[in-house]
Chain A
Amino acid sequence: MAINMNLYSRGDKFFAIVTSILIGMFTIATLYPFIYIAAVSFSGGFAAAAGKVVLTPVDSTLAAYKYVLTQPKFWNSYLNTFIYTIGGTIMSLLIIIPGAYALSRPQLVGRRFWNLFVAFTLWFNAGLIPFFINMRDLNLLDSYFGIIIGFAVNAFNLILLRNFFEAIPRSFEEAARMDGANDFQVLWKVYLPLSKPAIATITLFCIVARWNGFFWAMVLLQSEDKIPLQVFLRHTIAFLSDDQEFTATLSTQPYSVESVTGAIIMCSIIPVLIVYPFVQKYFEKGILLGGVKE
């Protein structure tokens, strides 16, 4: 919709400029912390530790990166994150898509009951301790499978997809069934192709949740070789200054706790920053799909 500037009085133009400036300020404020941490990561150890870094690297060096990228545990945790993300997302889709389809079918006996069964889990949660004890009783502690399966279903995504399926005119299902298709074929051949935006959205939500998942991975996993990136990050950031092995090297190396923290953060953010611009349109549409219908 082209804006007709003739309709803008002087006061309006002023208002538009002020708003743009305010938006600009918020945008810069949003961006700054990332620029800051990047600068810290590229700075020399002493400068970083002394607080000399504000906007640009001081005493630029790649030493912190060298340290981070030579930690085998770092790469291992990256690999683990990929395992959890891909495995977890696939598991989620395999359960959620058919489930949402079934819930959207009017012929489902007890439909109201099943939907309530699902919605209830959004309203009431047994809590941290019972969930933990349950995982332990199921022998799912400290296992890849435990992380993948334990968080496979999110009722919110399920309901979002169900609503989307419900909105598709039922004559598609009827026509396909009259043509001889069974329910699996109707879902796979007709409804899924029609639902690409919704599927893309919940896939995105799953991937983001898995990639950033930290708390339960920390609680449920004990073996160091199974922890994902975020948990490794957390351990590093929190305990680096206590690591004797590490602090011993500080006097001879041009990095510090801060610059290494910065480097490891940057290494973790890069994939997100690269993928992010491509997915922007999907989540915007996704919010519209989810709508405010709670």
Chain B
Amino acid sequence: MSPDSDKQHGHAIVNVRPKRSLKHKMIWLADHIRNEWQIYLMLLPTIIWMIVFLYKPMYGLQIAFKDYSIFRGVAASPWVGWEHFQNLFDNDQFIRAFWNTIKISALNLLFGFPAPILLALMFNEVLHATYKRTAQTIVYLPHFISTVIIAGIVTTAFSPTAGVVNTVLGWLGMEPIYFLTKPEWFRPIFVGTGIWQEAGFGSIVFLAAIAGVNPSLYESAVVDGASRWQMMWKITIPSIMTTIIIMFIIRIGNIMEVSFELIILLYQPSTWSTADVVNTFVYRQGLESGQYDLAAAAGLFNAAVAFVLVMSANTLSRRYSRTSLW
């Protein structure tokens, strides 16, 4: 124990320090690797996987600008510049596919986006706990069923000879309709199926947001004499508006991502006029017809548009959620 008291001041604030030399940095790096190599080892499989399966294909994306043949390979195939893109924009099928993508997404936005919100709001008003629980369990279910099965059920139900829909039409004295071959019926069936499959599960996010609303807001409204209907409009909805807007922005960012698995399973040549979207076009041109380079160009166009949309959506949502938090 030190005998005398030390009255000591630290040295005055030193603003001038020797810059860290290269040697200093090398020593630090060596220490760092010696102590922390394990986290780099943990990171390695992820990075390698992404390079091999996600980034390497981006390298292969250059065939969108080349005349690609399997035998020549990517590197040896000659450049053709924007030729494929010019072909695409001259191609009626592609233009149609592009607009179909937009139109179907718009329908999904108009009907498919509000559905989970409405469900969440309604669930919030149901009083009987067991009833609510059971209903929730049931409506979440279709999300977990594979698209193949969903499509199988839909095709059977809408079958012209065997399906229940036409049977019911028959009761009403109407002629059977071969729904899935008729372009005008494709979109309603597609959007409706989408709602059946995803609205329930999609309501979870909104239910979580509603659960986060301060209960004293409702209590003070009760004291003020508001009805549940009024409370829904004046308290619940405004409180979850941030969540709604952010989910909306995300949705806009994903406009180019129409659930094309479901489309492939439900569409037919006769409904291509309304059903064909960019990704199904790519699938047919590329994987079925083997026109890899043209299809890649179409895919690249899709990805580029999607990228711009997603980045804009991200920026918007970040700005919005920050301003609304304080």
Interface of A toward B, CB cutoff 8 Å? 1, 3, 7-9, 11-12, 15-16, 19-20, 22-24, 26-27, 29-31, 33-34, 36-37, 40, 48-54, 94-96, 98-99, 101-103, 105, 107-109, 114, 117-118, 121-134, 137-138, 149-150, 152-153, 155, 158, 182-184, 187, 208, 211-212, 214-215, 219, 230-231, 233-234, 237, 256, 258, 261-262, 265, 268-269, 272-273, 276-277, 280, 283-284, 287-288, 292, 294
B241 contacts the other chain (Cβ, under 8 Å)?
Answer: no
Contact check, B157 vs A33: say whether CB atoms are below 8 A apart.
Answer: yes
Contact check, A37 vs B141: say whether CB atoms are below 8 A apart.
Answer: no
B249 to A: closest C-beta gap in Å: 9
On chain B, the residues within 8 Å of A33 by CB distance are: 153-154, 157, 196
Contact check, B205 vs A261: say whether CB atoms are below 8 A apart.
Answer: no
Of B3-11, B91-99, B101-109, B310-318, the segment with at least 4 beta carbons within 8 Å of chain A is B310-318
Bound-state CA distance A279–B46 (Å) is 27
Contact check, A126 vs B303: say whether CB atoms are below 8 A apart.
Answer: yes
Query: Which has the most chain A C-beta neighbours within 10 Å: B58, B145, B146, B229?
Result: B146
Contact check, A128 vs B287: say whether CB atoms are below 8 A apart.
Answer: yes
Q: Give the total number of A-B pairs whose CB atoms are below 8 A apart.
A: 276
B265 contacts the other chain (Cβ, under 8 Å)?
Answer: yes
On chain B, the residues within 8 Å of A9 by CB distance are: 227
Contact check, A182 vs B38: say whether CB atoms are below 8 A apart.
Answer: yes
Contact check, B164 vs A15: say whether CB atoms are below 8 A apart.
Answer: no
Of B61, B135, B137, B204, the residue contacting A127 (CB under 8 A) is B61
Bound-state CA distance A288–B314 (Å) is 20
B302 contacts the other chain (Cβ, under 8 Å)?
Answer: yes
| SS class, residues of chain B in contact with chain A | helix
Bound-state CA distance A129–B70 (Å) is 12
Q: Which residue of B is nearest A208, CB measured?
A: B144
Contact check, A96 vs B196: say whether CB atoms are below 8 A apart.
Answer: no
For residues 31 through 70 of chain B, which have their beta carbon under 8 Å from a beta carbon of chain A?
32, 36, 38-43, 45-47, 49-50, 52-58, 60-61, 63
Q: Which residue of B is nearest A1, CB measured?
A: B215
Contact check, B47 vs A117: say whether CB atoms are below 8 A apart.
Answer: yes
On chain B, the residues within 8 Å of A211 by CB distance are: 146
List 6 additional contacts besides A22-B122, A54-B164; criterion CB under 8 Å: A98-B42, A108-B40, A117-B50, A126-B300, A133-B63, A230-B146
Of A30, A130, A294, the residue contacting B61 (CB under 8 A) is A130
Of B16-24, B123-131, B182-190, the segment with at least 4 beta carbons within 8 Å of chain A is B123-131
B275 contacts the other chain (Cβ, under 8 Å)?
Answer: no
Of A49, A114, A132, A237, the residue contacting B162 (CB under 8 A) is A49
Q: Which residue of A is nearest B167, CB measured?
A: A51
Of A114, A233, A261, A276, the residue contacting B43 (CB under 8 A) is A114
On chain B, the residues within 8 Å of A40 by CB distance are: 156, 162
Contact check, A29 vs B196: say whether CB atoms are below 8 A apart.
Answer: yes
On chain A, the residues within 8 Å of B307 by CB distance are: 123-124
A274 to B: closest C-beta gap in Å: 12
Of A126, A214, A288, the residue contacting B148 (CB under 8 A) is A214
Question: Which 5 pairs, one residue from A and one from B, show the smallest C-beta to C-beta distance?
Answer: A127-B299, A99-B46, A98-B42, A212-B146, A183-B38
On chain A, the residues within 8 Å of B56 by CB distance are: 134
B210 contacts the other chain (Cβ, under 8 Å)?
Answer: no
Bound-state CA distance A233–B47 (Å) is 35
B117 contacts the other chain (Cβ, under 8 Å)?
Answer: no
On chain A, the residues within 8 Å of B222 by CB distance are: 7
Give 12 pairs: A residue, B residue, CB < 8 Å, sorted on A: A11-B228, A19-B125, A20-B126, A26-B119, A31-B138, A126-B61, A129-B282, A129-B299, A131-B57, A258-B156, A261-B152, A292-B321
Of A37, A50, A118, A129, the residue contacting B287 (CB under 8 A) is A129
Contact with A along B277-309 (1 / 0, CB 8 A): 001001100110000100110011011001100
Of A150, A187, A212, A233, the residue contacting B42 (CB under 8 A) is A187
Question: Knowing A128-B282, A130-B299 touch, does A51 contact B166 (C-beta < 8 A)?
Answer: yes
B250 contacts the other chain (Cβ, under 8 Å)?
Answer: yes
For residues 142 through 172 of chain B, which have their beta carbon under 8 Å from a beta carbon of chain A?
142, 144-149, 151-157, 159, 161-164, 166-168, 170
Query: Which has the most chain A C-beta neighbours within 10 Å: B41, B47, B228, B261?
Result: B228
On chain A, the residues within 8 Å of B243 by CB distance are: 292
Question: Knowing A128-B283, A237-B155, A287-B205 touch, does A215 contact B261 (C-beta < 8 A)?
Answer: yes
Bound-state CA distance A184–B42 (Å) is 8
Question: Knowing A20-B127, A37-B153 touch, does A124 contact B303 (C-beta < 8 A)?
Answer: yes
B139 contacts the other chain (Cβ, under 8 Å)?
Answer: yes
B112 to A: closest C-beta gap in Å: 14
B246 contacts the other chain (Cβ, under 8 Å)?
Answer: yes
Contact check, A30 vs B229: say whether CB atoms are below 8 A apart.
Answer: no
Bound-state CA distance A283–B311 (Å) is 28
B252 contacts the other chain (Cβ, under 8 Å)?
Answer: no
